[in-house]
Amino acid sequence: MTDRFRVTLAQLNPVVGDLSGNAIQALNAWKQGRDAGANLVALPEMFITGYNTQDLVMKPAFHQAAIAEVEKLAVAMADGPALAIGSPWVEGGKLYNAYLILKGGKIASRVLKHHLPNETVFDEVRIFEAGPLGGPYAVDDIRIGSPICEDGWHEDVAETLEETGAEFLLIPNGSPYYRNKMEVRFNHMVARAVETGLPVIYLNMVGGQDDQVFDGSSFVLNPNGALALQMLAFDEAVTHLDLERTADGWRAIEGDKAHLPDEWEQDYRVMVESLRDYLRKSGFSKVLLGLSGGVDSAIVAAIAVDAIGAENVRCVMLPSEYTGQESLDDAEAVAKALGVHYDYVPISEGRAAITNTLAPLFAGRDADVTEENIQSRLRGLLLMAMSNKFGEMLLTTGNKSEVAVGYATIYGDMNGGYNPIKDMYKTRVFETCRWRNANHRPWMKGPDGEVIRPNVIDKPPTAELREDQKDSDSLPDYPELDAMLDILVDQEGSIADCIAAGFDRDVAKRVEHLIYISEYKRYQSAPGARLTPRAFWLDRRYPIVNRWRDPS
């Protein structure tokens, strides 16, 4: 009887749709496990396809190709440890989210996901069939239970596995980040360990996919919930875990326990990793953005430099007659501090040409927001022209406060392929700038020290589209606005909730109105890093045309 069992945990970064590339990653991890004497090499949920596949996995040609890739892997790994890998699976004409165990040149066992999440970014109920509650599978003479991701959050799957003879739980995950989710996961897994009396191995993937970032942070618990192993957050890693049989059952031997970052570092790392992977996985290596002298474009420039290096970032100042010297000085200071390429492209001449072209049509009408938006759209046109010419992805820089209430010009400053701060309210942008000035980590490619000078953070925010314009002319002050947005958007609260929190009813109603009428803009906006469970895109899906308003 085996008294010691080694599991190689492969916390890796798959690419959605890159079946052969993901298979190569799996094979390399298996070789590391084989060389280390592992009995089992484990990969995360849906690893062969990458995750989250959304409707792509329903395409028969795609899921058939994924299964064929796993079958080829099984043959290549005929001699050596077993491999457990997440994959689609078809059985009885139905499509499942499965965990496949490869051994002896074939798919020896399979687990089918039972609880299918149908909330936040997940639509698995419409994509997959729910598998039955099942028992453990055997590797050598050890019986292993593998609740797949969501199954680990429900006690029935783990209890069924324990009752049918599982000796430890290996839980493969495709669990994307939101702020403080690490603690939420840990609490659920402690519950599973205590309920079943079994060691729990929580294995998550890493890397960015569209708006989502998988943060890794894999860990191992012993039956009392005590932490035995903690892997790094966000970094790829292959780690060997030993379990030993004791008089009281299997126990994980303690290993390294990595430090997990606080929520400010987590959020910043997510914005960096999401941009880095979005570029890498979509085939871009360089970016550009408009640098206005304001706080939003400054933090996006810092994120871009930390993600791909200053040599791959172009910042462009596009001043009009309303751009103050303070903004010019601040933008140049940020560009110099970050070490990026900096272009100066005045728009006054182009704006005058457009104004003259439209003058006969607009004769007799007062200037209004139309003329302001022309400036923004001209900037968007010029930035997109540079993006086309230089092959650099344009980044857009609107924070969540602006995205929520539509304080942005569609086809203007909303132009771009990705928005790293799309899910970060303005008040957090200010604090994140301060955090970045005070903190530097090895994974940052940008310089240490103050990269966003204090005046950029402390001055009143302005779009500078008219004389002496301030954001507060059009919106409540950001601390007040963000607090109401948290109630109305993140908490799905009511006007009554805003009033109970001390806000004026008329102001809250106006904010609510702005949220609803801006829906069409959000449908056309760039994707961006998901930081919360109520990010704009898959987390919050509202109709564009909607006349309902809260009557309270």
Cα–Cα distance between 310 and 308 in angstroms, integer?
7
Write the pLDDT tens digit of every residue in 327-386: 999 999 999 999 999 999 999 999 999 999 999 999 999 999 999 999 999 999 999 999
> What is the pLDDT averaged over residues 195-216?
97
Q: What pLDDT band is residue 462 in, cutting at 50, 70 and 90?
A: confident
2: left (phi > 0), else alpha (psi -120 to 50), else beta? beta
Cα 116–Cα 117–Cα 118 angle in degrees, nearest 5:
115
Q: What pLDDT band is residue 552 in, cutting at 50, 70 and 90?
A: confident
- Please indicate, yes or no, whether residues 180 and 100 belong to a single structural domain of this protein: yes
Catalytic residue among 113, 286, 422, 426: 113
In a domain, 532, yes or no: no
Burial grade of 313 (CB within 10 A; 0-12, 13-18, 19 or more): buried
- Annotated catalytic residue 445: no
In a domain, 530, yes or no: no
Q: What is the DSSP string of 286-342?
A: -EEEE--SSHHHHHHHHHHHHHH-GGGEEEEE---TT--HHHHHHHHHHHHHHT-EE
Domain that holds residue 372: 273-523
Write the pLDDT tens digit of every residue in 84-125: 999 999 999 999 999 999 999 999 999 999 999 998 899 999
Cα–Cα distance between 522 and 526 in angstroms, integer?
8
Return the pLDDT at 75.
97
Domain of residue 280, CATH code: 3.40.50.620
Q: Express as a percent the part of the chain with pLDDT over 70.
A: 100
In a domain, 145, yes or no: yes
Q: Which residues are annotated as a binding site for L-glutamine?
A: 175, 181
Give the domain-ending residue among 259, 285, 303. Answer: 259
- Please indicate, yes or no, whether residues 150 and 220 belong to a single structural domain of this protein: yes
pTM: 0.95
- Please indicate, yes or no, whether residues 169 and 130 belong to a single structural domain of this protein: yes
Q: Which residues are annotated as a binding site?
A: 175, 181, 290-297, 373, 397, 402, 521
- Please indicate, yes or no, whether residues 373 and 226 belong to a single structural domain of this protein: no
* Mean pLDDT, the chain, integer: 96
- Please indicate, yes or no, whether residues 319 and 421 belong to a single structural domain of this protein: yes
Instruction: Tally Cβ neighbours within 10 Å of residue 440.
Output: 14
Q: Which residues are annotated as a binding site for ATP?
A: 290-297, 397
Return the pLDDT at 120.
87
Catalytic residue among 124, 149, 162, 512: 149
Domain of residue 82, CATH code: 3.60.110.10
**Which DSSP category does 260 fall into?**
P
> What is the pLDDT averaged over residues 420-448?
98
Return the pLDDT at 66.
98
Q: Are 294 and 321 in contact (CB under 8 A)?
A: no
Q: What pLDDT band is residue 1 in, cutting at 50, 70 and 90?
A: low
In this structure, what token pair is assigned to residue 130?
A: 């729910």
Write the pLDDT tens digit of every residue in 34-70: 999 999 999 999 999 999 999 999 999 999 999 999 9
> What is the pLDDT averaged over residues 486-506?
97
Burial grade of 190 (CB within 10 A; 0-12, 13-18, 19 or more): middle
Catalytic residue among 45, 129, 372, 392: 45
- Please indicate, yes or no, whether residues 376 and 497 belong to a single structural domain of this protein: yes
In a domain, 280, yes or no: yes
Q: What pLDDT band is residue 469 in, cutting at 50, 70 and 90?
A: confident
Q: Are 203 and 172 in contact (CB under 8 A)?
A: yes
- Please indicate, yes or no, whether residues 251 and 345 belong to a single structural domain of this protein: no
Cα–Cα distance between 181 and 51 in angstroms, integer?
18
Whether residue 473 is predicted with pLDDT greater than 90 in this model: the reply is: no
In a domain, 506, yes or no: yes
Return the pLDDT at 119.
87
- Please indicate, yes or no, whether residues 100 and 231 belong to a single structural domain of this protein: yes
Return the pLDDT at 430.
97
Q: Are 236 and 206 in contact (CB under 8 A)?
A: yes
Query: Domain count of the chain?
Result: 2
- Please indicate, yes or no, whether residues 171 and 284 belong to a single structural domain of this protein: no
- Please indicate, yes or no, whether residues 184 and 95 belong to a single structural domain of this protein: yes
Cα–Cα distance between 288 and 316 in angstroms, integer?
7
- Annotated catalytic residue 315: no
In a domain, 540, yes or no: no
Q: Which residues are annotated as a binding site for deamido-NAD(+)?
A: 373, 402, 521
Cα–Cα distance between 525 and 519 in angstroms, integer?
10
- Annotated catalytic residue 400: no
In a domain, 422, yes or no: yes
- Please indicate, yes or no, whether residues 249 and 279 belong to a single structural domain of this protein: no
In a domain, 265, yes or no: no
Give the domain-ending residue among 197, 225, 259. Answer: 259
- Please indicate, yes or no, whether residues 299 and 253 belong to a single structural domain of this protein: no
Cα–Cα distance between 314 and 303 in angstroms, integer?
13
